[in-house]
């Protein structure tokens, strides 16, 4: 549940509790003092607030870790793939990792809202992905109510393509395509956008890191360990130094309750083209509606995606045609 926007600190002074993750609030220190956390929990919260990531034990049974890895190996080999998206729908172990109770508890602590696991990515090798912020892929209104949790399904070393990240980089502004002069809503799909624009975004991030003098760190992890990173933390995948080595892992992305969820790369707010995401809570199997300040957002026809106000869509097209159009736009 949302917490009230004002939290009483004492009889004469109130700290505004902003509509933002408390770990990224300008009033974080005052809120932390009022939280009265034990020393271990406070250290975890401070680490995440200051550095934008937290390495922890997700307490996922090792048999679940093994099942998630082993059950996907035949599919990786058969399809010659390096990643699978959203296999939680048919793979119980993947679903259990995404909805692990300890993970959900830690996220609740860090964000003071119900976490909603909505996407899984499973890898058999290192991604070798260039540095980026997840905020270019997933964002929310209000901003920053999104994070990723990466679980090592085997040991990760310098040799098999570990993650890299830039501590504290989550505190910079969220940069979208419009900031580098690109219009994402003209793309026909995510794939179209990636082909047309994504390299330009990656080039921008590389230049930004160099200009700011940010310090890169590499993450080696033991099987079963996990890292949470804030939505705007800059991160990527290192090169694979040992040819043929595997790096089985699972990333789950989480939104949080009572937000609007959208795809920044297909959105241009100023011209009212907002690609609202339809998401399913992996933990419950239920669809989660986007909300703006407590009011549900109408998904009908993904009207904003094609630049037509929802009310105009209703006037122009009968319900049967709107449903058909909605199906086409979701393919």
User: Same domain for 204 and 78?
Assistant: yes
Mean pLDDT of 50-78: 98
User: Same domain for 317 and 257?
Assistant: no
Residue 114 counted as domain residue: yes
**Three-state DSSP class for 266?**
helix
Q: What is the pLDDT of residue 194?
A: 75
CA 148 to CA 119: how far, in whole Å? 10
Residue 23 counted as domain residue: no
User: Same domain for 189 and 310?
Assistant: no
User: Same domain for 210 and 132?
Assistant: yes
Other beta carbons within 10 angstroms of residue 95's beta carbon come to 21
Q: Which residue range(s) make up the domain with 278?
A: 44-297
CA 248 to CA 87: how far, in whole Å? 14
Q: In the chain, what percentage of residues exceed pLDDT 90?
A: 74
Q: How many CA atoms lie within 13 A of 26 on its CB side?
A: 2
> pTM score, two decimals?
0.86
**Three-state DSSP class for 140?**
strand
State yes or no: pLDDT of 331 exceeds 60.
no
User: Same domain for 199 and 320?
Assistant: no
User: Same domain for 307 and 291?
Assistant: no
State yes or no: pLDDT of 300 exceeds 50.
no
State yes or no: pLDDT of 8 exceeds 80.
no
Residue 81 counted as domain residue: yes
**Mean pLDDT across the chain, nearest whole number?**
88
User: Same domain for 115 and 254?
Assistant: yes
Q: Which of 3-17, 78-92, 125-139, 154-168 has the lowest mean pLDDT?
A: 3-17
Residue 224 counted as domain residue: yes
Q: Which of 142-156, 176-190, 297-311 has the lowest mean pLDDT?
A: 297-311
Q: Are 157 and 249 a contacting pair, CB within 8 Å?
A: no
Q: Which of 11-25, 224-238, 271-285 has the lowest mean pLDDT?
A: 11-25
Residue 196 counted as domain residue: yes
Q: Which of 329, 324, 206, 232 is nearest to 277 (CA)?
A: 329
Q: Total domain count for the chain?
A: 2
CA 43 to CA 62: how far, in whole Å? 26
User: Same domain for 287 and 311?
Assistant: no
Q: How confident is the model at residue 316 (pLDDT cuts 50, 70, 90)?
A: very low
Residue 33, C-beta contacts closer than 8 angstroms, at least 6 positions apart: none
User: Same domain for 252 and 236?
Assistant: yes
pLDDT, tens digit (0-9, with 9 covering 90-100), for 90-100:
999 999 999 99
Mean pLDDT of 276-300: 89
Q: How confident is the model at residue 321 (pLDDT cuts 50, 70, 90)?
A: low
CA 160 to CA 162: how far, in whole Å? 6
Q: What's the CATH number where 89 sits?
A: 2.60.120.620
Q: What is the pLDDT of residue 304?
A: 41
User: Same domain for 292 and 315?
Assistant: no
Residue 176 counted as domain residue: yes
User: Same domain for 212 and 322?
Assistant: no
Q: Are 103 and 56 a contacting pair, CB within 8 Å?
A: no
Residue 142 counted as domain residue: yes
User: Same domain for 193 and 320?
Assistant: no
Residue 211 counted as domain residue: yes
Q: What is the pLDDT of residue 192?
A: 77
């Amino acid at each position: 549940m949302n917490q009230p926007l004002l939290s009483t600190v004492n009889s004469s002074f109130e700290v505004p509790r902003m509509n933002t993750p408390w770990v990224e609030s300008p009033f974080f220190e005052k809120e932390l003092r009022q939280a009265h956390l034990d020393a271990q929990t406070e250290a975890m919260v401070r680490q995440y607030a200051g550095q934008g990531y937290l390495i922890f034990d997700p307490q996922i049974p090792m048999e679940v870790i093994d099942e998630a890895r082993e059950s996907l190996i035949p599919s990786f080999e058969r399809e010659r793939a390096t990643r699978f998206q959203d296999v939680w729908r048919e793979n119980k172990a993947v679903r259990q990792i995404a909805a692990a109770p300890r993970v959900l508890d830690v996220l609740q602590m860090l964000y003071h809202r119900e976490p909603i696991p909505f996407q899984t990515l499973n890898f058999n090798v290192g991604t070798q992905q260039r540095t980026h912020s997840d905020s270019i892929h997933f964002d929310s209104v209000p901003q920053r109510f999104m994070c990723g949790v990466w679980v090592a399904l085997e040991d990760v070393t310098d040799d098999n393509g570990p993650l890299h990240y830039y501590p504290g980089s989550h505190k910079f502004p969220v940069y979208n395509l419009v900031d580098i002069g690109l219009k994402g809503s003209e793309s026909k799909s995510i794939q179209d956008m990636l082909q047309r624009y994504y390299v330009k975004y990656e080039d921008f991030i590389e230049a930004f890191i160099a200009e700011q003098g940010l310090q890169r760190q590499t993450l080696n992890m033991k099987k079963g360990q996990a890292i949470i990173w804030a939505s705007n933390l800059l991160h990527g995948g290192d090169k694979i130094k040992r040819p043929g080595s595997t790096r089985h892992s699972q990333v789950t992305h989480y939104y949080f309750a009572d937000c609007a969820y959208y795809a920044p790369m297909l959105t241009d707010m100023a011209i009212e083209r907002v690609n609202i995401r339809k998401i399913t809570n992996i933990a419950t199997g239920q669809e989660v509606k986007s909300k703006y300040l407590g009011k549900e957002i109408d998904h009908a026809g993904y009207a904003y995606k094609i630049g037509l106000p929802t009310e105009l869509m209703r006037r122009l097209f009968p319900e049967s045609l709107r449903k058909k159009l909605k199906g086409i736009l979701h393919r």
